[in-house]
Amino acid sequence: MVWGLALLALVAFMLAFTSRSPGWMGLSIFVGFVAAIAAALVFIERHVRASSRPEHMTDREIRALRDTVRKPGEPPRQLPRSDTH
């Protein structure tokens, strides 16, 4: 689909530059821009989908997250004091 949109944009721009009629030129420029923008958005969507993490967590990740949570009654952790003058 994405290559079809890219090819459609290329053909539309070629038609716009070879056309002598202002109507065909305007229509083909419009179709070319719409197809080029659609192809760019599909390329971006594919890249984002390929590099994204799944939305669910594994049992190991859940246990690690629970271990980092402070238990009730446990004193809050504080950084050691720095002795800067």
pLDDT band at 43 (very low <50, low <70, confident <90, very high): very high
Q: What's the mean per-residue pLDDT of the chain?
A: 87
Residue 11 vs residue 84, higher pLDDT: 11
**How far is the C-alpha of 73 from the C-alpha of 71, rounded, in Å?**
6
Domain boundaries, position 15: 2-51
pLDDT band at 55 (very low <50, low <70, confident <90, very high): confident
This prediction's pTM:
0.61
Answer yes or no: is 66 within a domain. Answer: no
Look up tokens 């821009």; give the residue.
33
Sequence-separated (6 or more) residues with CB below 8 Å from residue 32? 8, 9, 10, 12, 13, 16
Q: Which tens digit of pLDDT belongs to each residue from 9-20?
A: 999 999 999 999
Answer yes or no: is 67 within a domain. Answer: no
- Output the pLDDT for position 64: 85
Indicate the number of domains in the chain: 1
Answer yes or no: is 79 within a domain. Answer: no
Please check whether residue 76 is in contact with residue 70, taking contact to mean a CB–CB distance below 8 angstroms.
yes
Work out the number of other CB atoms within 10 angstroms of the CB of residue 63: 10
